[in-house]
């Protein structure tokens, strides 16, 4: 069954702040995290109330959050819950998602503190983990056995092309990822699994074990596109435990163990890095045999960067297009041209060829692990995970002519 396009009112063009073309490093500074009161730390509130979970839990910060823990419980994106049929709802212009994105859950939550992330530790005073928004949406919690039973019985109507286990920074997440993967592969044979890893707690043998248990693709959310932005947004700058070196080291292990086309990395555009920085990492990944999965920065409500501007569309479109050319059209970074601020000013292709690529619209769709539609079409379409529907950054569906025309306007003139 396909995800059908839903008729909706046309969305208005989004207008970036006058003349704004790029998010500069000097303006993209996170707020300083404040310490949470002792009683709210490490899931203290949830464990103290110790409410029994009963089936589906819909995030609601006005009621006491049940005590839920993986592997018995997992959270899933709102789009996945709608597609699975455990939550009613409609999405703008698409009826489903192709990827069952699962997130490990614990009352203690993620112990890291990434500045752009809604799941970060600094929120423990304000909101229990299972109630926190993440990539702009709620993540309902569902008993994992129920998820497997529904999918095994064909309850998704064949719409899921992939399942993904998102680890978080928690002492149990390595072992629980193994359990969640093992239980899936025992019962579900036709939906491959990706791992969105947490390198900080992992060693090479953990990567090997996930491969040997049947994970198909291994990904690392590097997110920040240079070491300074990494440290500022998810390292010592925000009292978070991650390091650039460790992330790349685990990615290199994944390249060895999973092999070409079977590993990748997330990168967020617009956190103060240059376009050249991002595309250097894209080329590095391609040279290793992997792919990059791109996100436009969006000021996630409640995060340490929620006061900052989203990525200007011109910047985002340039990077999307250049990344697609490197990943799927054999163009190299060295063939592209950049200005003194690192903006792409030449894509390394003759104008007619570039126009033909833009016309297909594929470069502007959500990027991620593939499904059954094509190697360059992501199953992980994350509807509205990096923008509202009124200002789509990553298109979770095939672009129509009007969409392509809008992207062209956002891209602006280019001297290729």
Task: Summarize as ranges the residues that interact with ligand SF4 (CB under 6 A).
Answer: 110, 112, 114, 117, 119-120, 168-169, 234
Between strands 73-76 and 141-143, the pairing is antiparallel
The DSSP annotation for 310-343 comes to: PPPHHHHHHHHHHHHHHHHS---GGGSEE-TT--
Torsion of CA 6, 293, 403, 273, to 10 degrees: 140
To ligand SF4, the closest distance from the beta carbon of 397 in angstroms equals: 26
Q: How far is the CB of 309 from ligand SF4 (least distance, A)?
A: 20
120 or 363: whose CB is closer to ligand SF4?
120
Distance CA 329, CA 376 (A): 10
Closer residue to ligand SF4 in complex, CB, 103/392: 103
Distance separating alpha carbons of residues 197 and 173, to the nearest angstrom: 9
Between 86 and 168, CB nearer to ligand SF4: 168
279-to-237, 274, 335, 367 alpha-carbon distances in Å: 24, 9, 12, 15
Residue whose CB is less far from ligand SF4, 129 or 395: 129
Q: Rank residues 161 and 234 by Cβ distance to ligand SF4 and give the closer one.
A: 234
Nearer to ligand SF4, 302 or 346 (CB): 302
170 versus 276: smaller Cβ distance to ligand SF4:
170
Element (H or E) spanning 382, and its range? none
Using the minimum distance from each CB to ligand SF4, give the nearer residue, 33 or 389: 33
Least Cβ distance, residue 234 to ligand SF4 (angstroms): 6
Least distance in angstroms from the C-beta of 157 to ligand SF4: 30
Residue 401 has which token pair? 């002519």
3-state secondary structure at position 223: strand
CB 64 within 8 A of CB 52: no
- Return the C-alpha torsion angle 371, 396, 317, 164, nearest 10: -50
Q: How far is the CB of 129 from ligand SF4 (least distance, A)?
A: 10
Q: Which is nearer to ligand SF4, 159 or 234 (CB)?
A: 234
DSSP code per residue over 141-171: EEEHHHHHHHHHTTTTTT---EEEEE--SST
> Minimum distance between the CB of residue 411 and ligand SF4, rounded to whole angstroms?
29
Q: State the minimum distance, in angstroms, from the CB of residue 2 to ligand SF4.
A: 31
What is the C-alpha separation between 207 and 218, in angstroms, rounded? Answer: 8
Minimum Å gap between C-beta 127 and ligand SF4 is: 13
Q: How far is the CB of 296 from ligand SF4 (least distance, A)?
A: 16
Report the nearest approach of ligand SF4 to the CB of residue 209 (Å). Answer: 20
The neighbour count for residue 117, using CB atoms within 10 Å, is: 28
Q: Cα torsion for 369, 96, 58, 102, to the nearest 10°?
A: -20
User: Whose Cβ is closer to ligand SF4: residue 16's or residue 228's?
Assistant: 228
- DSSP 8-state class, residue 72: T
Before 239, cis peptide (omega within 30)? no
């Amino acid at each position: 069954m396909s995800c059908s396009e839903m008729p909706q009112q046309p969305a208005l063009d989004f207008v970036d702040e006058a003349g704004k073309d790029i998010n500069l490093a000097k303006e993209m500074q996170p707020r300083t995290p404040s310490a949470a009161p002792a009683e709210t730390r490490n899931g203290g509130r949830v464990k103290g109330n110790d409410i029994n979970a009963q089936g589906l839990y819909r995030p609601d910060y006005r009621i006491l959050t049940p005590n839920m823990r993986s592997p018995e419980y997992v959270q899933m994106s709102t789009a996945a819950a709608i597609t699975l049929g455990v939550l009613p709802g409609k999405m703008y212009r698409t009826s489903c998602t192709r990827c069952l994105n699962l997130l490990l859950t614990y009352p203690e939550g993620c112990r890291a503190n990434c500045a752009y992330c809604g799941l970060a530790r600094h929120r423990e005073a304000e909101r229990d983990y299972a109630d926190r928004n993440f990539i702009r949406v709620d993540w309902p919690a569902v008993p994992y056995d129920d998820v497997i039973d529904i999918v095994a019985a064909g309850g998704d109507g064949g719409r899921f092309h992939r399942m993904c286990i998102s680890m978080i920074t928690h002492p149990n997440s390595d072992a629980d990822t193994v359990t969640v993967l093992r239980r899936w592969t025992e019962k579900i044979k036709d939906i491959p699994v990706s791992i969105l890893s947490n390198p900080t707690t992992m060693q090479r043998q953990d990567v090997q074990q996930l491969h040997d248990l049947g994970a198909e693709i291994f990904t690392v959310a590097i997110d920040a596109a240079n070491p300074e932005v990494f440290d500022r947004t998810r390292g010592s700058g925000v009292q978070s435990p991650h390091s650039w070196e460790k992330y790349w080291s685990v990615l290199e292990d994944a390249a060895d163990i999973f092999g070409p086309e079977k590993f990748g990395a997330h990168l967020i555009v617009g956190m103060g890095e240059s376009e050249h920085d991002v595309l250097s990492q894209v080329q590095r990944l391609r040279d290793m045999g992997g792919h990059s999965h791109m996100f436009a920065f969006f000021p996630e409500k409640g995060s340490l960067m929620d006061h900052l501007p989203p990525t200007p569309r011109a910047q985002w479109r340039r990077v999307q297009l250049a990344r697609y050319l490197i990943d799927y059209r054999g163009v190299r970074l060295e063939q592209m041209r950049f200005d003194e601020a690192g903006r792409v000013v030449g894509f390394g292709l003759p104008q007619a060829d570039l126009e033909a690529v833009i016309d297909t619209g594929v470069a502007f769709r959500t990027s991620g692990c593939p499904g059954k539609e094509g190697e360059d079409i992501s199953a992980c379409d994350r509807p509205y995970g990096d923008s509202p529907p009124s200002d789509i950054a990553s298109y979770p569906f095939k672009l129509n002519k009007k969409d392509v025309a809008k992207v062209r306007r956002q891209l602006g003139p280019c001297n290729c």
